[in-house]
């Protein structure tokens, strides 16, 4: 029995292979065994701090280890994942996995939704769930495409014989969208690394007609002062400075010694839980459900995502002379939208962000953090709908 929203457009030019997550039982048994025998570090002053100032708390890790063994069920996650249409497509020399809700409307707007690290396609499932509850295949106004970045989840890893970065990901995903029949135009949305890929799509690929993001990584624009900023914006800058001072150790390791940290975290699921779990604790506004954290970490472990996924961090070490969003070459000369969430660890003022593209849509939210699609799916969905409704009619008239 085929799933609803699973009929690709007739204009699709490439072969799609239907996909279902199906982790072998032996892998699940191995994971359970490794969690059971994993050793937790002895109590220290640092790992006893409940505010995470020195990293993940030991008691939290012990509790999560117990929850992982006693109450978390991967098969339930697998069933949820498989309730959505999934496919793989061969693009260049990669196998790209994606979740897709396809509309039967001839004028449906194609949208590609892009995750980052330590995220995955799982982040966008709550939004997809809301769309499929609200619409039928005959009435859905959008084609919604959620790919796993190369190296993440069920997508194959980046090439072993050459360098590969966000520009390459953008090129592959542009081809993915064209192969699906969307060569005449699509919208890109992204957070974290996904926002950088969306920017590359918008600036380097004609078929990407508009860009909406919920993160921009940049330095203060040249010549700009803070005199015009309000207290909320100034606090966001202070939070960013604190993050740069105390919160980027993981990124330095990813960018300078990806081989070492990749092999370390591939050896122990509990170590992986500590490394990734810290981000799901620190980068949110309100706490996530423990089930959400365990689901994400389990997906990373079972698909061996971590060592395959951190390659994009090398682009930042050594630091480039100009960050991508500050570089005029990557100014978005297309409709550009931004959703700002207060718990984002790099929360920047509107006046900074509007120097990086033709900003036509801005929404400041009262709740939400770095994982906006997972934390505040209703708000991000509403913003995306407003943005597309605002910009797409003009784009189609221009065509």
Provide the annotated active-site residues: 192, 313, 370
Q: Which of 140, 170, 120, 104 is nearest to 332 (CA)?
A: 170
Here the tokens at position 10 are 């007739």
Are the C-beta atoms of 185 and 163 separated by less than 8 Å? no
Helix (H, G, I), strand (E, B) or coil at 174: helix
Give the DSSP per-residue string, 309-377: H-GGGGGGSSPPSS-GGGSGGG-EEEEEEEEE-TB-TT---HHHHTTSEEEEEEEE-SS-BS-HHHH-H
Cβ neighbours of residue 207 closer than 8 Å, sequence gap 6 or more: 174, 177, 178, 182, 183, 184, 185, 186
d(CA 193, CA 110): 20
Here the tokens at position 356 are 């990086």
Helix (H, G, I), strand (E, B) or coil at 98: strand
> Over the Cα atoms of the chain, what is R_g?
21
DSSP 107: T
Cβ neighbours of residue 354 closer than 8 Å, sequence gap 6 or more: none
d(CA 375, CA 122): 12
């Amino acid at each position: 029995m085929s799933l609803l929203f699973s009929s690709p457009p007739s204009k699709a030019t490439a072969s799609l292979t239907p996909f279902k997550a199906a982790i072998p039982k032996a892998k699940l048994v191995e994971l359970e065994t490794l969690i059971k025998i994993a050793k937790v570090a002895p109590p220290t002053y640092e790992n006893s701090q409940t505010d995470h100032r020195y990293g993940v708390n030991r008691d939290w890790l012990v509790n999560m280890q117990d929850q992982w063994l006693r109450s978390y069920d991967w098969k339930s996650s697998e069933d949820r994942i498989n309730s959505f249409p999934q496919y793989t497509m061969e693009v260049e020399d990669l196998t790209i996995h994606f979740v897709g809700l396809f509309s039967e409307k001839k004028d449906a707007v194609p949208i590609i939704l892009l995750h980052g690290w330590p995220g995955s396609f799982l982040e966008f499932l709550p939004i997809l769930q809301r769309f499929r509850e609200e619409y039928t295949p005959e009435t859905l106004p959008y084609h919604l495409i959620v790919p796993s970045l190369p190296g993440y989840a069920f997508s194959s890893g980046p090439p072993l014989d050459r360098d590969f970065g966000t520009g390459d990901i953008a090129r592959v995903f542009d081809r993915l969208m064209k192969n699906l029949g969307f060569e005449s135009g699509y919208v890109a949305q992204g957070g974290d690394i996904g926002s950088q890929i969306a920017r590359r799509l918008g600036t380097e690929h004609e078929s990407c007609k508009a860009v909406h993001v919920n993160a921009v990584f940049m330095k203060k624009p040249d010549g700009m002062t803070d005199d015009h900023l309000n207290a909320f914006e100034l606090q966001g800058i202070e939070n960013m400075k604190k993050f740069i001072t105390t919160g980027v150790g993981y990124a330095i390791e990813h960018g300078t010694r990806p081989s070492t940290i990749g092999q370390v975290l591939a050896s122990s699921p509990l170590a992986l839980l500590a490394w990734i779990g810290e981000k799901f604790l620190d980068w949110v506004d309100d706490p996530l459900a423990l089930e959400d954290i365990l689901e994400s970490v389990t997906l990373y472990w079972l698909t061996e995502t971590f060592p395959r996924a951190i390659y994009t961090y090398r682009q930042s070490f050594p630091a480039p002379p100009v960050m991508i969003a500050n570089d005029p070459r990557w100014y978005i000369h297309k409709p550009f939208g931004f959703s700002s969430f207060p718990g984002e660890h790099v929360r920047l003022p509107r006046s900074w962000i509007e120097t990086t593209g033709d900003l036509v849509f801005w929404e400041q939210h009262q709740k939400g953090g770095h994982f906006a699609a997972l934390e505040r799916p209703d708000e991000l969905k509403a913003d995306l709908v407003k943005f597309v409704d605002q910009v797409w009619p003009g784009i189609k008239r221009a065509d």
